[in-house]
A = this chain, B = another copy of it.
Amino acid sequence: MPEITILTEQELRQCAAVDAGAVEIVSDAFSRLARGGVQMPPVMRLDVAEHNGEVDVKTAYVPGFDGFAIKVSPGFFDNPKLGLASVNGLMILHDSRTGVVRAVMLDNGYLTDVRTAAAGAVAARHLAPERVGTAAVLGAGVQARLQLKALTLVRPVERAVIWARDGEKARACAGELADELGIPVEAAADARTAVEQAQAVITTTPAGSPILHWDWLQPGTHVTCMGSDADSKNEVAPAVLANADGLVVDSRSQCAAMGELHHAIAQGALPADIQPAELGQVINGELPGRQAADEVTVADLTGTGVQDTAIAVRAERRATELGLGTRVQA
């Protein structure tokens, strides 16, 4: 019988964070995705309409990684009325060679937060301008915080502005980020004001209609859109993707099905057969990232199974180093 390590969220918070290690392993995973041999089946989706819930299951086998993750992400949107978080879930880490379950990571979505922010850092490393005087973050949730932190790992960021529909939340988020990152962070009164002063823009909302428009963007700006992970979500006007000098996606098939790319194609702003660069191709130098200082670049990130596998492998390694987790004889 195999021995399995059970890791709780509290333990996993000691094993994975938005740091250089997470960025490196997620970058490595995207690089391998572009090199081929990765198996990443379409997302499995279970709808539980009678309780306003859904469950997504993602996985990817990445050659060269000694484990692969299966991630189960329930989102039940009436939970806050019951005093529970909307999102919870776990990751299962299997041995790549034998399929045997090595670890059950009861992360309540924490590892997803980390790997999502890490992908933002990877995109920014290849696409953001060298100097980010001001970063604008649209949204004031967990990803607003983690994406700005991730950006500071790959670019010196002098100051940031946060916009959210709820001004109170934007101010609270700005205050926390100023404390954590040690740079000036302010709340902006409207999205346009925030975006017009920025060299890096990150959209992190669940918006169903665009909150970012093309004519707000200054030459030389990089935009990362990471809020859209379902076909009903749409943060960015199609013109932003259509007019950008460089467009990079995490996964062509996923972005065409559920990302900003999906809406740009559906609205006729981009042809249905467009083949934007994938992040891994840019990492591998196969296709260019930013080519000139005045380019506007866009990264459309929907979140992929290779990131889940990467962060789970890293978390397991750290758990072993730190001696964390409960061993169970399955």
Interface set of A (CB-CB < 8 Å, partner B): 1-2, 4, 6, 8-10, 37, 39, 41-42, 44-51, 53, 55, 57, 59-61, 63, 68, 70, 72, 74-76, 79, 82, 84, 88-90, 92, 94, 96-101, 104, 106, 108, 326, 328-330
Contact status B61-A46, CB under 8 Å: yes
Contact status B47-A44, CB under 8 Å: no
- Interchain CB contact (< 8 A) of A328 among B8, B42, B79: B8
Q: A57 and B57 in contact (CB under 8 A), knowing A1-B108, A79-B98, A106-B330?
A: yes
Contact status B44-A48, CB under 8 Å: no
Contact status B79-A55, CB under 8 Å: no
When C-beta atoms are compared, the residue in chain B nearest to A51 turns out to be B97
Q: How would you classify the secondary structure of chain A's contact residues: helix, strand, loop or mixed? A: strand
Task: Give A70 to B48 CA distance when docked, in angstroms.
Answer: 13
Contact status B326-A328, CB under 8 Å: yes
Name which of A50, A51, A96, A97 has the most chain B CB atoms within 10 A of its CB. A97
Q: A329 and B48 in contact (CB under 8 A), knowing A94-B55, A99-B53?
A: no
Task: Give A4 to B48 CA distance when docked, in angstroms.
Answer: 21
Contact partners of A70 in chain B: CB under 8 A: 46, 55, 57, 72
Contact status A99-B90, CB under 8 Å: no
Contact status B74-A94, CB under 8 Å: yes
